Structure 1
Amino acid sequence: MRIAPLSLFVSAALLSVSVWAQDTATVTAIESERSEKQAELDRYTQILDKHVAEEARLQAQLELLRQNSSELDKEKNQALDAMNDLYRRLIDDPSIDISSAQLRYQQSVSDHKSNKEDIAMQLAAIASHRKDIEQIRVSKHTLVNTIASLRDQLSTARVERLRNEFTREGTLEVEHTINCKRTETLAACEQRGQQLGLQKATKRFIDQIFANLTEQRIVEPKRHMAGAQVQVVSSHVVGSAFSGQGNYSVNLSVTMRGDVNNSRLCGLLSLDNRFCSEYGTPLAVGYQASYPTTFSDSQLTFNDDVESAERSVPSITTLQPKPEIKSQVLQQSPKDRQVDLTLRSNVYDDEVFIDGVSYGSTKLVVSVPLGSYDIEIRKLGYESYKAKIDVRRARTINAKLIKKPESIAAPTPKSEQQSTPIATKQKVTPNLVENKVVIIPAGTFQMGDLTGNGLANERPVVEKVLSHSYAMQSKEVTVAEFRQFILSTGYQTEAEKGAGCAHYKNGEPIWESEYNWDKPGFEQADNFPVVCVTYEDAKAYANWLSGEKGIQYRLPNEVEWEYAARAGTSSEYPWGNEIGRGLANCGWCGSDWSNKSPAPVGEFSPNNYGLYDTVGNVWEWTQKRASQEDVTVRGGAWNFAPSLARVSTRLALAPDFRANYIGFRLVRER
């Protein structure tokens, strides 16, 4: 059989210039915006690195000032002793010149006071600098979420563009010649020639569609997976003729429209199937393409009668980079938990030293890890208050400094006694709603970015060993549970003190002064996770619950959180490496609450350890180490991209940050 040269005419409809241009413009615009945001993120990272380095420099200067404070304090005491000695001698010998001793003492007092002021100024500078750092970090988190969201938008736009490119319509003109068989009539030869010409037109139409795909290099190797088809809109014979040699030639004009199995588009682009879930069932792994040789007038699956052999489809295996692994044994201990230590005294202008380090004057509230501390409160002319205390929970030290009777230096004015009235609160004994705890078994796991898709702070992967089992609340702490704490203690959260709570608006975190745990900016019920709480608010709740239950509750550290969230798996999510649709509450995850609000706790299936909502819903505070200034939240949230709800994703925030997408759950001590 001889095939005549093919005359191909692609209509304007086949090219679908306007649709293609619009789809490509959308993809290009998203790619451009993502590149801009990535460049902005890189700039913020550089700025943050500089700020962190500057903070380290300020801390080093503060340490020098504190070291100098000890020397100046020593000099001041020596000068005072010398001057007091001269005062005593002056009683017996009025001719003694004490001016030099007075000048020395005056200078030592002035130097010591100046150093204290420098320490206070340095602490203020560090505090201000930390606020700048935290603002940069919040901006970085916003950019990370924006970039992740743009990545999802880009995937959606690519799928839509590919779908439109497959469903183009166009007209082909094809000339085809066959040899009539001796046994067939002229009518049968004519019909066969037209059928074969039509079949070749559909094959060429499909070839042309694939050749004109924007992402042809990605899709072509998976052509057998596409399920590409052709719908014949219309066809007519332009011209036909029989030759004296028994050949029949036909010239056909065929108008066709492409069609494709939409659920397979994600497989062609190597994207998460959730971007195609609205089109139907995703393509199954190991799909075997078939090429039927029959067709109808309305729909044709392309076939090439020259290539009669079926092609086999090899299995596709994605190789993931092997992460760097370090071995480290984690010994579980509550030593990293911090509590508030409050120090008061009966004088003003004193100086507090904790383990020999100056922390300023009373009244002073400082957060310290559990442990023993040497406390000293000094004031010139008074006996120093010294005590060694064992800090196991939040406590207050009321120091009473006694005036030195032996000093005959100029007296220090008496301080006005300041008494703070304590409001009497009625003890509320609430009917506690039980947040069931589940036992997390001891074990070993790989912590961090196991797939190579994570953020820089998820690497390197480290092997962690949890030598003991522990108990964790199966659900996030709810609004009802937190309300019981508020009613019982009269506690006031940071958001309720006037500063409000952050929320996302147009992709940026905005502070809303009226938002708090009871009014987070969306409709909530008692079984919603509590939000708009700071790290310290969460710790305060844990301390209260510990007292109510008679057993210690605390925030989980990062290792405990990730180990429990993984629940024996090594994938991005408890169910696999794709987020799917409707399996969790995160931005663009397909749930009823996505990008609207948190969902009621326990709305989705638990992981293998019986924990709910470790993916999405609200970010969860974790316990910070003593050396950390910031605190890490884990798990993603209802308005953050799915790629940020992976089990290893971690975001660092200031302890006093609060937002209507951050909550917590607790660990119960053994």
Structure 2
Amino acid sequence: MSTLYEIAERRKPPGSTTARAATPDGLRRNATPNGLRRNETPDGLRRAATTSLAVLFATLAIATSVLAEETNTLGMKLVPIQPGTLKRGIADDEIRAHAEQFTYVLSKVAGYFENQGEYGSGLHTAKITRPFHVGATEVTRGQFRKFVEETRHITDAEMAGQPNAPGAPMLGFTPPRAIGAVKTLEELDIVSSTKYTWKNPGFAQTDEHPVVGVSWHDAVAFCQWLSKKEGKTYRLPTEAEWEYVCRAGTWGQAYWFGPDPYQAYRFANIGTSELEKAYPKMVLEKWVIDVEKEPSDGFVYTAPVGSYPANPWGLHDAHGNVFEWCQDAYSFTAYKDLAQAAGKDRVVADPLVLKPTTEGVDVRVIRGGSFYSSPQNFMACTRSFFLAADSACYIGFRVVRGN
């Protein structure tokens, strides 16, 4: 009997070679249909070769669809992500469990989730149908600087205060106040000022820290520049993609590292005792901690990207450090609307919300929490939002590469 290798050898153009190693052993053994002999007619050989090569090409196509980890021209490590499904929303019993974990009054936490549009009726399954790559870390200040230097891009925050500026002045940190000076959440030391930009968020950063002070527009412009530079499509993750890679297969718990918020300091840069000591009342207003006994996460403000352990899929800082922009417009009823439109099975393929809650107001989703966030703000399921033209010292972004 003729093997697939032998058939391919006979059919190849003059001067070409066939790599035997590229043909799976199983295909070599089984590629020739039973009953086909060397002395069969040319038509029989043609049919056998066509069928066998089709099997080979299909097998190779499946094999090559499995993406590999890459590093791009900016030094970004890109992690391969395969298609799958994600359960989105939060049920009543989960809210009760989270309330008990956080030592909050149940009604307060339940109200928080209800206001996020995630309460019960919004439960659905998001189906990610295409493989893609995602940045292992948030985009750094150094990487953003290269974009600015090559394009002379002016951020929305840098235009703030000028006529027809697209957004408000950036939210940045003022120097720490005296102990006990901050009494309420309204007195937090994050203020809007034209003196703040990605170059000066109100605290020191190196090129290895995540860039902050960038609007959604700035993040999209960066992705467009990188796409043109490399000839590949870079973009912001959809909200569904973001939660999918954050959870990394760890369904049914608040964080990829487990259900306990008091272990977060080991895995994420969040609001802990360092921030509380620098800005009294900032953390205690949102999270019940013992400033003297609470373990430290090591940073008051942003941490260099990759400072904390990666999740099971290779992503660093999916929780904490900085909030991350997503493609989606923020809609208060997004989950409920998607669930109802999906029908009985409540499965939505590659969801992307483009219509905001208030028509004409461009509000975008931010995810993941930041260095000053409390537990409910950096859970994998928690939805947050920000005006697309505005920026803050606690918002950055991560890129996705793929259609």
Give the TM-score of the pair, scaled to structure 1: 0.34
Residue 448 (structure 1) aligned to one of 82, 89, 92: 89
Partner letter of residue 88 of structure 2? M
2:355 aligns to what?
627
Alignment partner of 1:491: what SS? coil
- Distance in 2, matches of 1:545 and 1:641, equals 33
Alpha-carbon displacement from aligned partner over 1:89-130 (angstroms, at most 9, x marks no partner): xxxxxxxxxxxxxxxxxxxxxxxxxxxxxxxxxxxxxxxxxx
Is the partner of 1:538 in helix, strand or coil?
helix
> What is residue 463 of structure 1 aligned with on the other side?
125
Secondary structure of 2:242's match? helix
Tell me, yes or no, if the aligned pair for 2:365 and 2:383 is still in contact at 8 Å. Answer: yes
CA RMSD across the alignment: 1.8
- Note if contact 1:432-1:484 (Cα within 8 Å) is conserved in structure 2: no
Residue 612 (structure 1) aligned with residue 319 (structure 2): no
Give the aligned partner of residue 134 of structure 2.
472
Residue by residue over 1:417-462, the C-alpha shift from the partner in whole angstroms, topping out at 9 and shown as x without a partner, is xxxxxxxxxxxxxx94311111111111211225224622233321
Q: 1:558 to 1:493 in 2, by over 3 A?
A: same
Q: 1:652 aligns with which of 377, 385, 400?
A: 385
Does structure 1 retain, via aligned residues, the 8 Å contact 2:156–2:389?
yes
CA distance in 2 between counterparts of 1:440 and 1:448 reads 22
- Partner AA of 1:627 in structure 2: K
CA distance in 2, matches of 1:620, 1:498: 21
SS in structure 2 at match of 1:652: strand
Deviation at 1:583, TM superposition (A): 2.1
Aligned residue for 1:436?
A: 77
1:536 corresponds to 2:217:
yes
2:271 maps to what in 1? 587
**Which of these residues, 198, 219, 231, is aligned with residue 550 of structure 1?**
231
User: SS state of the match for residue 271, structure 2?
Assistant: coil
Deviations 1:379-434 (A, max 9, x none): xxxxxxxxxxxxxxxxxxxxxxxxxxxxxxxxxxxxxxxxxxxxxxxxxxxx9431
Within the candidate set 217, 242, 256, 1:574 is matched to 256
Taking every aligned residue pair, what percent have the same amino acid on both sides? 34
Query: 1:313-362 CA distances to partner (integer Å, 9 max, x unpaired)?
Result: xxxxxxxxxxxxxxxxxxxxxxxxxxxxxxxxxxxxxxxxxxxxxxxxxx
The residue that corresponds to 2:171 in the other structure is 502
Match for 2:133: what amino acid? A
**For residues 142 and 73 of structure 2, what CA distance do their matches in structure 1 show?**
9
Question: Residues of 2 paired with 1:648 and 1:507: CA distance?
Answer: 25
- Residue in structure 2 matched with residue 600 of structure 1 by the alignment: 304
User: Which residue of the partner structure matches residue 665 of structure 1?
Assistant: 398
* Per-residue deviation, residues 239-275 of structure 1 (Å, max 9, x unmatched): xxxxxxxxxxxxxxxxxxxxxxxxxxxxxxxxxxxxx
Native 8 Å contact 2:243 2:380 kept in 1: yes
Maintained 8 Å contact 2:131/2:402 = no
- Residue pair 2:173, 2:202 contacting (<8 A) in 1 also: no
Deviation at 1:619?
A: 0.2
Q: How far does residue 664 in structure 1 lie from its aligned partner after superposition?
A: 0.2
Structure holding more helix per residue? 1
Q: Indicate the structure (1 or 2) with the bigger Cα radius of gyration.
A: 1
- How far residue 465 of structure 1 moved from its aligned partner, in angstroms, is 1.1
In the aligned structure 1, how far is the partner of 2:173 from the partner of 2:206?
21
* Distance (Å, rounded) in 1 between the aligned partners of 2:73 and 2:155: 20
User: Hey, what's the Cα distance between the residues in 1 that align with 2:228 and 2:315?
Assistant: 24
Aligned length: 238
2:375 to 623, 642, 647: 642
Q: In the alignment, which of 198, 207, 211 is matched to residue 526 of structure 1? A: 207
User: Are 2:239 and 1:561 aligned?
Assistant: no
Distance 1:445 1:465 in 2: 6
Amino acid paired to 1:435: M
1:150-204 CA deviation, whole Å, 9 max, x = no partner? xxxxxxxxxxxxxxxxxxxxxxxxxxxxxxxxxxxxxxxxxxxxxxxxxxxxxxx
For residues 477-488 of structure 1, what are the structure 2 equivalents within 5 Å? 477-488=139-150
Q: What's the secondary structure of 1:622's corresponding residue?
A: strand
Matches within 5 A, 1:331-346: none
What residue identity is the alignment partner of 2:271?
Answer: G
- Asked if the contact 1:432–1:481 (Cα under 8 Å) also holds between the matched residues in 2, the reply is no
Q: Please name the residue that 1:151 is paired with.
A: none
Given that residues 636 and 644 in structure 1 are in contact (C-alpha distance below 8 angstroms), is that contact kept between their aligned partners in structure 2? yes
Aligned to 2:341: none
Q: Shift in Å at residue 640 of structure 1?
A: 1.5
User: What are the residue-to-residue correspondences of 1:293-308 with 2, within 5 Å?
Assistant: none
Higher relative contact order (CA 8 A, sep 6+): 2
Higher strand share: 1
- 1:642/1:504 Cα in 2 relative to 1: closer, same or farther (>3 Å)? farther
Q: Distance in 2 between matches of 1:498 and 1:575?
A: 39
Matches within 5 A, 1:136-215: none
The ranges of structure 1 where at least 4 consecutive aligned residues each deviate by more than 3 angstroms after the TM superposition are none
TM-score, structure 2 normalization: 0.57
Q: Which amino acid is 1:572 matched to?
A: A
2:48 alignment partner in structure 1: none
| Structure 1 CA distance for aligned equivalents of residues 327 and 219 of structure 2 | 10
- 1-side partners of 2:219 and 2:393: how far apart? 14
Deviates more, 1:521-530 or 1:650-659: 650-659
- Unpaired runs of 5+ residues, structure 1, are 1-430
SS at match of 2:266: coil
User: Which string of whole-angstrom CA distances, capped at 9 and with x for unpartnered residues, describes residues 364-387 of structure 1?
Assistant: xxxxxxxxxxxxxxxxxxxxxxxx
